[in-house]
Structure 1
């Protein structure tokens, strides 16, 4: 991705669209766009192949904000992150498709994982410095996302929607796991 992003940035530089001092910014922007696009397209293909596009969208509505604000373990390369993300998505969707868990057990698993996520707190990555103000903002956003997820969980319990409650429990279990691994790897107190 980095190679293609560099080529795109140099192409628009040669065309006179940007100046030399902006090339790194455009290169970074192109790289982020390409990586996000490839990941999104691959996720949609996986979901369509499994016949689970709504579940995939719900997965990302929970997973993306929780991982963005709560942090956790991060892979060293885009390719490793891409493979890990695809594996997490695929295993989650396959579990929801082929396994079942009683509604109240799924709800209890979700609550347990959510509480552990709150106890662990946000995980800072060594390559991304976060100050106290950023941490407060991330905590507020994590709590807001958790509030929405809790209301959704209650809705699933009251409507007896075992499938989506199970999906939510799995997502929060993965989020807790990546947070715990991040805490251990980055040795945060």
Structure 2
């Protein structure tokens, strides 16, 4: 992706659309756009192949804000992150597609994982330092997302929506695992 972003940036630079001082900003922007686009397209393809598009959207409704605000394990390269994300999505969707567990167990798994994420708190990555004010904002946003997800879990339990409650439990299990691993890995850094 980095190579393609350089090619695109060189193209608009040579056309005179940007100047030298904005070159790195545009190159970084192109790279981010390409990476997000590739991940999104791959996720949609996975969801369509599994006939689980709505479950994929729900996965991202929970997973993206929680990972953004609570942090966790971050892999060293875009490619490894891309593969890891695709594996987590595919594994989650396959588990939900082929396995059903009772609502009380799903609810307890969700609550247990949410509490662990809450206890661990935001996990800072060594390559991106977060000051105390940013950390407070991340904590508030994590709490808001957890409250929203808890309300969803209660609604799913009341309406006996086994599939989406189980999906939510699996999503939070992965968030819990990546937060815990990130917490351990970055404490040693």
Q: TM-score, length-normalised on structure 1?
A: 0.99
Residue in structure 2 matched with residue 41 of structure 1 by the alignment? 41
Deviations 1:65-119 (A, max 9, x none): 0000000000000000000000000000000000011001000000000001000
Q: TM-score, length-normalised on structure 2?
A: 0.99
Residue in structure 1 matched with residue 147 of structure 2 by the alignment? 147
Residue in structure 2 matched with residue 90 of structure 1 by the alignment? 90
Distance 1:67 1:178 in 2: 9
Superposed displacement of residue 12, structure 1: 0.4
Which ranges in structure 2 are unaligned for 5 or more consecutive residues? none
Deviations 1:115-146 (A, max 9, x none): 01000000000000100000000000000000
Task: State how many pairs are aligned.
Answer: 188
Distance 2:33 2:58 in 1: 22
SS of residue in 1 equivalent to 2:187? coil
Residue in structure 2 matched with residue 101 of structure 1 by the alignment? 101
Matched, 1:81 2:76: no
Distance 1:26 1:127 in 2: 21
SS of residue in 1 equivalent to 2:82? helix
SS of residue in 1 equivalent to 2:104? helix
SS of residue in 1 equivalent to 2:21? helix
Residue in structure 2 matched with residue 14 of structure 1 by the alignment? 14
Distance 1:118 1:64 in 2: 16
Distance 1:144 1:187 in 2: 26
SS of residue in 2 equivalent to 1:186? helix
Residue in structure 2 matched with residue 136 of structure 1 by the alignment? 136
| Segments of 4+ moved more than 6 angstroms | none
Which ranges in structure 1 are unaligned for 5 or more consecutive residues? none
Deviations 1:1-60 (A, max 9, x none): 000000101110000000011000000000000000000000000000000000000000
